[in-house]
Structure 1
Amino acid sequence: MSALTVTGVTKSYGRTPVLTGVDLHVPAGTTTALLGPSGCGKTTLLRIVAGFDDPDGGTVDLGGRVVAGAGRPVPARRRGIGFVPQEGGLFPHLSVAGNVAFGLPRRLRRDRSRVVSLLALVGLDAALADRSPHQLSGGQQQRVALARALAPEPSLVLLDEPFSSLDASLREDTRRAVVDALRATGATAVLVTHDQAEALSTADQVAVLRGGALAQLADPRTLYRDPRDLDVAAFVGEAVVLDGDAVGGRVASELGELVLGRSCPDGPVRVLLRPEQLRLSAGPGPRARVCAVDFYGHDARVELQLPSGRRVSARTEGGDLPTAGAEVSVGVQGTAVPFPVPAPSSAPAPRTETPTPA
């Protein structure tokens, strides 16, 4: 296992900047998720680390060895990196055993026991070894692709949205198998995803990319509960954002007086709550009108309209739910995260000269 350190990496395609100076450290033996919307640069960064593209500036260090950005780059095949593409990329003319063994050194490719142990590592039965890739489900194909990537014991494993083509239940089972396999081998891994839940539940740390730069790097709980700004907050989960005035660690808002979860100077603020913090009841308290209810079985999303006209969402258990049009009381559990509102600029307006008639 090796640590990965990316320092000041930039990349443009023509006149379009894609990465604008990314710094990222992935400790050895951990998994980091690169999370961001389409076009933010996460796949480009993965390709640079893999050696498929070269950076315009900055360096990539793998296990104390600079592999890109300082002189001649180390070719992809010599970086000791395992790569799992989005669709698995299995060789259709090879069996499952042949695909897995392809990642092994030549002297070990005929070692059937090694192939069987790798299949077991990713949660697959040895009976699948002689099947062709087209005889497997999508989730099984992705596990075979991971076994192939892990076979040569790489210093780093890169996964490019490996679960995006799977249905919901298969995605969850495959994700768990992949996480278990990575942890069992102690591999260092980088996962590219646009799925917030996948990033939060899979990685030891999450790197949020925005506009080609690193917006925040933190462990999943910190990222969700204490985001750096409201844009990050809204991207890693549904956000309830309210305006108010902070005084002494509390803020008056449409949902009553809220306790702040971190220090903040007194004055105008915008505060962040998560939908699961809102508690609905028929008792006294701030009122809201139910606009819609989306039932998911285990829980439900209730869209509310506050007296100001602002719409927010509450996440609640799927049992006794209000109906659209009903009026409910809204309470808040836990603390709010404040973001001070910058004071308006006091710069004087530019003077306009009245032309003098000729």
Structure 2
Amino acid sequence: MSALTVTCVTKSYGSTPVLTGVDLRVPEGGLTALLGPSGCGKTTLLRLIAGFDDPDTGTIELDGRLVAGPDRSVAAHRRHIGFVPQEGGLFPHLSVAGNVAFGLPRRQRRDGGRVGELLGLVGLDPALAQRSPHQLSGGQQQRVALARALAPEPSLVLLDEPFSSLDASLREETRQAVVEALSASGATAVLVTHDQAEALSMADEVAVLRAGRLVQLADPRTLYRSPRDLDVATFVGESVVLDADVRDGLAYSALGVLPLDRDCRDGLARVLLRPEQLRLGAPGAGGPTARVRGVDFFGHDARVRLQLPSGPTFSARSEGRDLPSAGDDVSVTVVGAALPFPVTGAVPIPDGVR
């Protein structure tokens, strides 16, 4: 059963189209991320689902109930949707308990036990109930906002880039707490984000939007390993794109002859590799030689920026130990298969990596 069904939804502001025929189905109890660059329409879609605005055409259903469509628009407060904005949106004059209880039906607002239960659900100590929002960290505020959204047991929870203002370590901790709370509550959720790592690590399904269209909906592994096109591929993760000549199921490229992980007709193509597929060794150890132009060290691993003698540059991901230095020459070999994308009507391009 789909908790949310969006069908052929369009939306324009003036003469500017923002959404053009979006279809989306979110399974009950699942978390779907709307992923895309700024201006792709993901926040507009969230607003339409929430009831803050109406689509120009198309329909929106919640649990089989039509809430938006021709001559039909159910008010936002009647859609039974929980909403978590970017900054939490807590009421500064209310305590934590007051904020959480605000989301409860009036008859339950004095039920301290329910407030404590909700705080525990989002991983917060119930002892924080009497604190003011300004006495909490950013991550704690976002968890309180989620508790408030979950309080009335909504059919759908919408999260609008809720972690964008948090620092890296707090963001990761808060993400995990939110995922666990949503799972424990059985809530269906839609997350808007432009952060690829966030979408891939949190969501059951990821919907990629581009220029107002939904271009791919898939689970995170499928999206990363089998992107629909090169634009999706380069958006959802770091990538190495090689110009290649495909013959008899092999791609002849600047990094050697590569096997392909799906069929592709012979001719010009671009093939996709992920940086973690590249292995670096001593010059002459196999594969072409590249020069190290720089190393970005992250602790657990590093990005090694490389340049081939012919000029093109690309990056490899390596473990955070025994790393080369800028100016070193290294051999580059490829592990696994490349994903091909045929080039139609193209003028031959010199071999290289983008």
TM-score range normalised by the length of the shorter chain: over 0.9
**Distance across 2 between alignment mates of 1:332 and 1:64:** 49
Which residue of 2 is the match for residue 265 of structure 1?
265
TM-score computed with the length of structure 2 as normaliser: 0.96
**Distance across 2 between alignment mates of 1:290 and 1:245:** 26
Which residue of 2 is the match for residue 327 of structure 1?
329
Query: Does the 8 Å CA contact 1:2/1:156 hold for their aligned counterparts?
Result: no
SS of 2:72's equivalent in the other structure is coil
SS of 1:335's equivalent in the other structure is coil
Q: Percent identity?
A: 77
Q: Give 1:344 shift.
A: 4.7
**Distance across 1 between alignment mates of 2:72 and 2:219:** 34
**2:339 maps to 1:337:** yes
Which residue of 2 is the match for residue 236 of structure 1?
236
SS of 2:177's equivalent in the other structure is helix
Which residue of 2 is the match for residue 313 of structure 1?
315
SS of 2:119's equivalent in the other structure is helix
**Distance across 2 between alignment mates of 1:46 and 1:186:** 20
Letter in 2 for 1:117: E
Deviates more, 1:138-147 or 1:278-287: 278-287
**Distance across 2 between alignment mates of 1:250 and 1:311:** 22
SS of 2:24's equivalent in the other structure is strand
Query: Does the 8 Å CA contact 1:246/1:267 hold for their aligned counterparts?
Result: yes
Q: How does 1:110-259 map to 2 (within 5 A)?
A: 110-259=110-259
2 and 219 in structure 1: CA distance in 2 versus 1, 3 angstrom threshold: closer
How many residue pairs match? The answer is 345
SS of 1:129's equivalent in the other structure is helix
Which residue of 1 is the match for residue 287 of structure 2?
285
Letter in 2 for 1:77: H
Letter in 2 for 1:284: G
Q: Give 1:102 shift.
A: 0.6
TM-score computed with the length of structure 1 as normaliser: 0.95
Query: Does the 8 Å CA contact 2:60/2:67 hold for their aligned counterparts?
Result: yes
Q: Which runs of 5+ in 2 are unaligned?
A: 348-354
SS of 2:43's equivalent in the other structure is helix
Q: Give 1:72 shift.
A: 2.5
- Once the two structures are superposed, what CA deviation does each residue of 1:69-96 show, in whole Å capped at 9, x if it has no partner? 1313010001010000000001111110
SS of 1:262's equivalent in the other structure is coil
SS of 1:331's equivalent in the other structure is strand
**Distance across 1 between alignment mates of 2:308 and 2:86:** 42
> Over aligned residue pairs, what C-alpha RMSD do you find?
1.1
Moved over 4 A (4+): none
Q: Give 1:343 shift.
A: 2.7
Query: Does the 8 Å CA contact 2:286/2:333 hold for their aligned counterparts?
Result: no
Query: Does the 8 Å CA contact 1:97/1:130 hold for their aligned counterparts?
Result: yes
Q: Which runs of 5+ in 1 are unaligned?
A: 346-358
Query: Does the 8 Å CA contact 2:31/2:205 hold for their aligned counterparts?
Result: yes
Structure exhibiting the larger radius of gyration computed from Cα positions: 1
Q: Give 1:307 shift.
A: 2.8
- Once the two structures are superposed, what CA deviation does each residue of 1:195-217 show, in whole Å capped at 9, x if it has no partner? 00000000000011100111111
- Once the two structures are superposed, what CA deviation does each residue of 1:202-249 show, in whole Å capped at 9, x if it has no partner? 000001110011111110001111100000011001110001111222
